[in-house]
Structure 1
Amino acid sequence: MPGPPDGAPSRPIELLLGPRVAILAALAALTFVCWLWLADEAATMAAMDPAMTMPPKGLHDLVLLFVMWWIMMVGMMLPSAAPMILTFAAVNRRRRARTQPYVPTALFVAGYLLAWGGFSFIATLAQWGLESVALLSPMAMAATAPWLAAALLLAAGLYQLTPLKNACLGLCRSPFDFVVNHWRDGSVGALRMGLGHGLYCLGCCWVLMALLFVGGVMNLLWVAALTAIVLVEKLLPFGAWTARIAGVALIGWGLGLLLAGR
Structure 2
Amino acid sequence: MLMWWVMMVAMMLPSATPAILLYARVRHVRGSDAAIAQPWVFLAGYLTMWLVFSIAAAFAQRSLTGPSMALQGSLAKGLMLLATGAYQLSPMKSACVSQCRSPGQFISHHWRSGLTGALRLGVIHGAYCVGCCWLLMALLFVGGVMNLLWITGLTVLVAGEKLLPNGRLLQQVSGAALILWGGTKILL
TM-score (norm 1): 0.70
Match of 2:84 in 1: 156
For 1:101 and 1:127, how far apart are their aligned partners in 2?
Answer: 42
Q: Which amino acid is the alignment partner of residue 135 of structure 2? A: V
Higher RCO (CA 8 Å, separation ≥ 6 residues): 2
Can you list the C-alpha shifts for 1:186-211, whole angstroms capped at 9, x where unaligned? 11111111010000011111000000
Q: Quick one: which of 47, 51, 67 aligns to 1:113?
A: 47
Residue 100 of structure 1 deviates from its aligned partner by 5.7
The structure that is helix-richer by fraction is 2
The alignment status of 1:137 with 2:72, answered yes or no, reads: no
Match of 2:29 in 1: 94
For 1:181 and 1:96, how far apart are their aligned partners in 2?
Answer: 21
For 2:72 and 2:88, how far apart are their aligned partners in 1?
Answer: 24
For 1:198 and 1:89, how far apart are their aligned partners in 2?
Answer: 16
Residue 102 of structure 1 deviates from its aligned partner by 2.1
The alignment status of 1:193 with 2:127, answered yes or no, reads: no
Q: Quick one: which of 213, 232, 235 aligns to 2:160?
A: 232
For 1:214 and 1:72, how far apart are their aligned partners in 2?
Answer: 16
Q: Give secondary structure in 1 for the equivalent of 2:66.
A: coil
Residue 137 of structure 1 deviates from its aligned partner by 2.6
Note the aligned Cα RMSD (angstroms). Answer: 1.1
Q: Which has the larger radius of gyration?
A: 1
For 1:103 and 1:149, how far apart are their aligned partners in 2?
Answer: 44
Match of 2:4 in 1: 69
Identity within the alignment, %: 52
Contact 2:79 2:182 in 1 (8 A): yes
Q: Give secondary structure in 2 for the equivalent of 1:142.
A: coil
User: Which consecutive residues of structure 1, in runs of 5 or more, have no partner in the other structure?
Assistant: 1-65, 131-135
Can you list the C-alpha shifts for 1:104-146, whole angstroms capped at 9, x where unaligned? 100111111100000000001111111xxxxx231x2111121
Can you list the C-alpha shifts for 1:166-196, whole angstroms capped at 9, x where unaligned? 1111110000011111001111111111010
Match of 1:42 in 2: none
Q: Which amino acid is the alignment partner of residue 254 of structure 1? A: G
Give 1:11-26 correspondences, 5 Å limit. Answer: none
Task: Count how many residue pairs are aligned between Structure 1 and Structure 2.
Answer: 188
Contact 1:103 1:186 in 2 (8 A): yes
- Displacement over 3 Å in runs of 4+: none
Match of 2:150 in 1: 222
Contact 1:108 1:190 in 2 (8 A): yes
